[in-house]
Amino acid sequence: MIWLLMTTGSRRGEVCGLRWQQLDLESGVVTFRRSTGQIGGSLWEKDTKTHQDRRVTLDSEIVQVLREHRARCEERAAMLRTAVRRDGYVFSPSTDGSTPTKPDTVTQRYGRLAARLGLRTHLHCLRHYSATELIAAGVDVRTVAGRLGHAGGGSTTLRTYTAFVQEADQRAAAALAARRVRPNGRSAPVID
């Protein structure tokens, strides 16, 4: 679950609400359609925050991680003489996948894991990590916004990650300057 949160930048409720039928591991695509909401002990299924489906491409590593997770789920279900439901939740405390993991449980378990590892972090930082790394890698803001499920064509992404966009803009200016031909016909020196 942590790997999926980190690589897709999805929200915890979206991952808790993710069903196997929304994962296309052959094509390497996940479609976030629903989310799991929680207040106290009450759980419910709801729309995503932006009320829109979101398709996110998965890299080969996360596809392999999810295939291994599916195999473990199927093995556990077979030991108990049941099967993982086709419409089952990807991350479920029940053997057949019929119930979602509680979002608060995910947050608490992540906090305990981080504490054991001596890390000062919280679950939402995985979302920030995903966005920051994508922007630092030069991915355009609209694509980053789309992966995160930010509405408004990237305005939320720009507000939240402005410092990293400025860093990318500085790299872009340096790259352009390095390619520009000077009036004397020579290229500018390459600067790293």
DSSP secondary structure letters along 2-25: HHHHHHH---HHHHHT-BGGGEET
Alpha helices, H only, 28-124:
60-79, 103-116
Predicted confidence at residue 11, as pLDDT, reads 95
Work out the angle at residue 39's Cα, subtended by the Cα atoms of residues 37 and 40, and round it to the nearest 5 degrees.
Answer: 135
How confident is the model at residue 191, as a pLDDT? 55
pLDDT (0 to 100) of residue 140: 87
CA gap 5, 109 in Å, rounded:
14
What is residue 189's predicted lDDT score, i.e. its pLDDT?
A: 58
Residue 152 tokens read as 């408004």
Query: What span, in angstroms and rounded, lies between the C-alpha atoms of 36 and 14?
Result: 6
Residues paired with residue 123 on neighbouring β-strands, in sequence order: none
At 21, phi and psi to the nearest 5? -70, -10
User: pTM (2 decimals)?
Assistant: 0.81
- Confidence at residue 69, expressed as pLDDT on a 0 to 100 scale: 98
Per-residue pLDDT at 186:
62
Q: What is the pLDDT of residue 64?
A: 97
Domains and CATH numbers, the chain: 1-120 (1.10.443.10), 124-192 (no CATH)
Residue appearing with tokens 């929304």: 22
- What is the pLDDT, as a whole number, of residue 192? 52
In this prediction, the residues of the chain whose per-residue pLDDT falls under 70 are 162-165, 182, 184-192
